[in-house]
Structure 1
């Protein structure tokens, strides 16, 4: 079968796009139909004899990127779990599991989908892939030192991206977000699990993410009863050391659990931070003593931009109607104000700026109006008022909440925050490898030519990425010097896919 040139592939993609657009244009010319659009005829299923295809045609571009970044060599050099390779290396196990998650797998057993897909194995250049039992045994070999080595191996290839296509994403400030979450499990024999403050059995991993690229930098598994801030300073320090050489400035963000005042002085020498702090009596007293002239009204930006110029009529608020009719306690925000003052925690050698947000909340029950309530929210920051007024500090603190969306994607999008194995370290290894699939998505986005596309694909939900980039039917042709992947289906993002692939092939990462 003759190999297609790049120009021929481009023309084929344009022709398929034209066919799709031609069908869409016909919609405006249809009149009244007597029958539904969806019809059915007799269908015969057959299995091709000479032509084999895989549903995961986009996976090969991810593998090529991972290989050229040097991740395969980094894993094999840094992680020493296997004394003999019969026949698999450490990278084979790690990437097989990561690719299983990247192609929609949510269980160890889903590895079987890949090892029974001959065209996919041909495209990956593999004679065979590990089976689920072997992958599970590999995960059970991990100790904490091995997991740290794997994290270091993954992090060792990021600078090649941050110095190149990812440089514009880091921008003027790289934002490190830190937070904990809960991974529930119904198992009773999983070693290391415990019960959380919410009464949920499972684990309590800590995640440090880079908000600019939405990468997971560090993932640390802990028992379910571990508080969010447990050993968080250690991992924040690691993240700062990892990102700082490639960013103009670093800012650490976290909620009230991470206002670790014992580390403020040390952090302030290297980075900026915006950290929520508990609503303690001393801060409430300071805020209440501020003169009214110190407060300024907070005007939040619109949640979206109206590009059409027209405004739709607001629909009836059914929820508010039910709350009022049934006389539930109804809390509604009247207005917000911001102010600031300095405060020196006992564990610090210097005072820090505190921005305080005051919310005035009306309280009603049915038609009865109750006394208004005032709530305070406090944020420690190293930013000066000249460059970052109070409203900007509140905005930065609220933007950190986007990390919750990353947690949601890791949980329900690709099933990375799960506990399919039998102890804390093996489940830690699974979470880390599954999170690698999420990172590969961000790395693929960085390879796109246009900046707008890079930002769009980084923000894209994993399931949409899976359906538009990875799940593309393809025929794999193995030649003496190259592997040809012929895509058999058209998707709307095919031009962006080829843009990322072409950039991957021509970029010199230092590995082949």
Structure 2
């Protein structure tokens, strides 16, 4: 896009914004005789050449994908097709990814994009795979192929970080957690009943909190423990982020306190893991002197720009009191530190005991 054209577009957008600002400007209204939704004559026209799509940014995203080299990287590392008639591996991967980006919820929604000429033109494709073909492609993947696909994405990610950042992150935060992906299907392979009574899957997600990017993902049946098989993905995530960060901190909940790896990880990164309030930890916390405990002051979720709003009455709490139900409320938070050495560690960790009212939680 030329400089003059960009200036022209900026002028048009600025003018439209000013018109909206004038229409929405605060003023003292008088009593109106007619409703605001008055209605007016409107004309619909079908242009012969100009096409509009509801996902206008998909073209810009596809240009970014091409310029970053992601297409070539996928085709080089993911080998699922012996011949390409007419689609390559990257065509199938982008077809499914773009379907989600434009609001699709199922593979069947690809058919909407497939019959949208504006969408096809935006991604520069004569045609795209239909939902059945897309489903057949996903069934070709083995766990090793999925790993290759994630590594191809991370290779391009590292290239973008290297070219786009002038300095390293001072502290890179890697989050590891599991979630529950429910499904309404009854014939889905690998699904199971989770501890919450939801049929579906329990994917493990390793993400880069600084940019909210998912580095690795592994799908599990719904009844599998969230930390199952997480060590190898944590190690891989460290390798991806290490060249671009001065320090790395891994954050996980109690399920991921894999103490057998603490010594090895401590040589390369910092970590904050939750620990279950076991009897030995509760005893240690109970033996601490009162002066060891300090009030925990948390940062506010947001800054009040005008004045603090008055909170409405909590109707739920009123009903609980009226009916005489047990009412558990957070009365305060205190924190204390002490040294603790897990059985599988040679090094001593610093433990923090958090007291919420009468409930205690541990972190290392």
**TM-score under structure 1 normalisation?**
0.68
Structure 1 partner of 2:50: 51
How do residues 392-471 of structure 1 correspond to structure 2 at under 5 angstroms? none
**Which residue is 1:239 aligned to?**
237
In the other structure, the counterpart of 1:173 is 171
Partner of 2:321: 324
Tell whether the 8 Å contact from 1:357 to 1:378 is kept in structure 2 after alignment: yes
Cα shift at 1:220: 0.2
Q: Provide the C-alpha distance between the structure 2 equivalents of 1:268 and 1:99, rounded to a whole number of angstroms.
A: 39
What residue is the counterpart of 2:186 in the other structure? 188
Count of aligned residue pairs for this structure pair: 363
Query: Counterparts in 2 of 1:81-100, with a 5 A limit?
Result: 81-100=80-99
1:14-413 matches, cutoff 5 A: 14-25=14-25, 28=27, 30-41=29-40, 45-165=44-164, 171-308=169-306, 310-360=307-357, 374-380=358-364
User: Does structure 2 retain, via aligned residues, the 8 Å contact 1:161–1:167?
Assistant: no
Which whole-Å CA distance do the structure 1 matches of 2:83 and 2:246 have between them? 44
Aligned equivalents of 1:166, 1:320: Cα separation in 2: 49
Structure number with higher relative contact order (C-alpha < 8 Å, ≥ 6 residues apart) = 1
1:9 corresponds in structure 2 to 9
The Cα of 1:268 is off from its aligned counterpart by 0.3
Change in 2 beyond 3 A, CA 1:305/1:43:
closer
Taking the aligned partners of 1:262 and 1:167, their CA distance within structure 2 comes to 37
Partners of 2:250 and 2:229 in 1: CA distance: 16
2:359 aligned counterpart, secondary structure: strand
User: In the aligned structure 2, how far is the partner of 1:204 from the partner of 1:51?
Assistant: 45
1:464 — aligned with what?
none
Change beyond 3 A, Cα 1:80–1:313: closer
Structure 1 unpaired stretches of 5+:
361-373, 381-512
**2: distance between equivalents of 1:203 and 1:312?**
41
Deviation at 1:192, TM superposition (A): 1.7
Deviation at 1:71, TM superposition (A): 0.6
Comparing 275-284 with 119-128, which one deviates more in the overlay? 119-128
User: Is the CA contact 1:256–1:275 (under 8 Å) kept in the aligned structure 2?
Assistant: yes
Report the CA distance between 1:45 and its aligned residue: 4.7
Match of 1:421 in 2: none
User: 1:42 deviation in Å?
Assistant: 6.3
Compute the displacement of 1:164 (Å): 4.2
Q: Cα RMSD over matched residues?
A: 2.0
Does the CA contact (< 8 Å) of 1:218 and 1:235 recur in 2? Answer: yes
For 1:269 and 1:286, how far apart are their aligned partners in 2? 27
Inter-partner Cα distance in structure 1 for 2:265 and 2:91:
39
> Equivalents in 2 of 1:185, 1:79: separation in Å?
28
Against the structure 1 CA distance between its residues 314 and 123, is the aligned structure 2 distance closer, same or farther, given a 3 Å change threshold? Answer: closer
Q: Could you tell me how far apart the structure 2 residues matched to 1:122 and 1:216 are? A: 29
Structure 1 residue 31: Cα displacement? 3.3
CA distance in structure 1 between the partners assigned to 2:291 and 2:21 by the alignment = 60
For 1:44 and 1:23, the matched residues in 2 are separated by: 22
State the Cα deviation string for residues 181-222 of structure 1 (Å, max 9, x = none): 112223332222222222322211100011111111111011
Structure 1 contact 244–250 (Cα < 8 Å) conserved: yes
CA contact (8 A) 2:169 2:244 kept: no
| Cα drift, residue 3 of structure 1 | 11
Question: Bigger CA drift: 126-135 or 115-124?
Answer: 115-124
Query: Larger % of helix: which?
Result: 1
| Contact 1:207-1:218 at 8 Å conserved across structures | yes
Q: Which moved more, 1:138-147 or 1:9-18?
A: 9-18
Q: CA deviation at 1:300?
A: 2.0
Question: Per the alignment, in what secondary structure is the counterpart of residue 95 of structure 2?
Answer: helix
In structure 2, relative to structure 1, the CA distance for the partners of 1:186 and 1:14 (3 Å cut) is closer
CA distance in 2, matches of 1:296, 1:90: 57
State TM-score, norm by structure 2: 0.94
- Check whether the contact 1:111–1:132 (CA below 8 A) recurs between aligned residues: yes
